[in-house]
């Protein structure tokens, strides 16, 4: 099995680019951020205090998070309900950043993520895939872009979902998320020592996916 770890900051296009690359390679795409967003949604709906150990443990034990696939399309289920669209709001992004900083939460999801890589050719994206989740991945990529570029991309995504936001608000959200993710004590966002840096600021979606595919082919010897 071939495992590809893609890490990077919020708004770098990891999910969209990794999903397209996985489809072209016929790999399984695993969006680990969706898992944290889903637990963030569960916490928000239950009004649990995630910083209270007992309430957090009850939340984790009562929240069944699953990834389902139709071809290469990933859907996320919370206690049997498809929440794939609901977790994509800016609020759930902030909730994911907060809950993902808790060591117990990361521990809770770790085995699920690793098991998927054991039985499938995967492209897995997140913020600590190459450093923590899949430290022995065949290919490690750190995907980034300028904060301004990432804010513009995220703005387009949110507007397409009908959210009323402005550029400055999204940019500040990106900058805040970068700081939180890179300064958390548990599994902070940082490139793995052996990762390949890819900056997509000047690349479109197809170019970014093709760049990733070329790196995977070069590192693994697979035919494309």
Q: How confident is the model at residue 193 (pLDDT cuts 50, 70, 90)?
A: very high
pLDDT of residue 71: 67
167-183 and 90-99 helices, crossing angle to 10°: 10
Q: How confident is the model at residue 61 (pLDDT cuts 50, 70, 90)?
A: very high
Nearest to 2 by CA among 31, 20, 26: 26
pTM of the model: 0.81
DSSP 74-112: EEEEETTEE-TTGGGSHHHHHHHHHHTTSHHHHHHHHHH
Residue with the larger pLDDT of the pair 210 and 89: 210
pLDDT of residue 127: 87
| Mean pLDDT of all residues in 157-161 | 84
Strand partners, 217: none
How many helices (H) does the chain have, and how many strands (E)? 8, 8
Q: How confident is the model at residue 150 (pLDDT cuts 50, 70, 90)?
A: very high
pLDDT of 20 above 70: yes
- Answer yes or no: are the C-beta atoms of 57 and 16 closer than 8 Å: no
| Mean pLDDT of all residues in 33-49 | 95
Q: How confident is the model at residue 135 (pLDDT cuts 50, 70, 90)?
A: very high
pLDDT of residue 179: 92
Torsional class of 66: left (φ above 0), alpha (ψ -120 to 50), beta (otherwise): beta
Q: How confident is the model at residue 129 (pLDDT cuts 50, 70, 90)?
A: very high
pLDDT of residue 72: 62
Q: What percent of the chain has pLDDT over 90?
A: 70
pLDDT of 141 above 90: yes
Picking from 8-12, 69-73, 138-142, 206-210, which range would have the lowest pLDDT averaged per residue? 69-73
Domains of the chain: 3-219 (3.40.50.300)
pLDDT of 159 above 90: no
């Amino acid at each position: 099995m071939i495992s590809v770890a893609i890490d990077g900051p919020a708004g770098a296009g990891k999910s969209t680019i990794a999903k397209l690359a996985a489809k072209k390679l016929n790999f399984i795409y695993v969006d680990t951020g969706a898992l944290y967003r889903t637990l963030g949604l569960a916490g928000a709906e239950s009004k649990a205090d995630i910083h209270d150990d007992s309430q957090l443990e009850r939340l984790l034990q009562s929240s069944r998070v699953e990834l389902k696939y139709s071809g290469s399309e990933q859907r996320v289920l919370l206690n049997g309900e498809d929440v794939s669209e609901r977790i994509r709001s800016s609020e759930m992004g902030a909730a994911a950043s907060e809950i993902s900083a808790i060591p117990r939460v990361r521990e809770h999801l770790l085995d699920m993520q690793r098991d998927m890589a054991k039985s499938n050719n995967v492209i897995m994206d997140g913020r600590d895939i190459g450093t923590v989740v899949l430290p022995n991945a065949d290919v490690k990529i750190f995907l980034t872009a300028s904060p301004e570029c990432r804010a513009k991309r995220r703005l387009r995504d949110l507007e397409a979902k009908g959210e009323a936001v402005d550029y400055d608000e999204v940019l500040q959200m990106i900058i805040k998320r970068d700081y939180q993710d890179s300064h958390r004590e548990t599994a902070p966002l940082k490139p793995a020592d052996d990762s390949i840096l890819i900056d997509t600021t000047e690349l479109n979606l197809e170019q970014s996916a093709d760049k990733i595919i070329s790196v995977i082919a070069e590192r693994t010897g697979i035919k494309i």
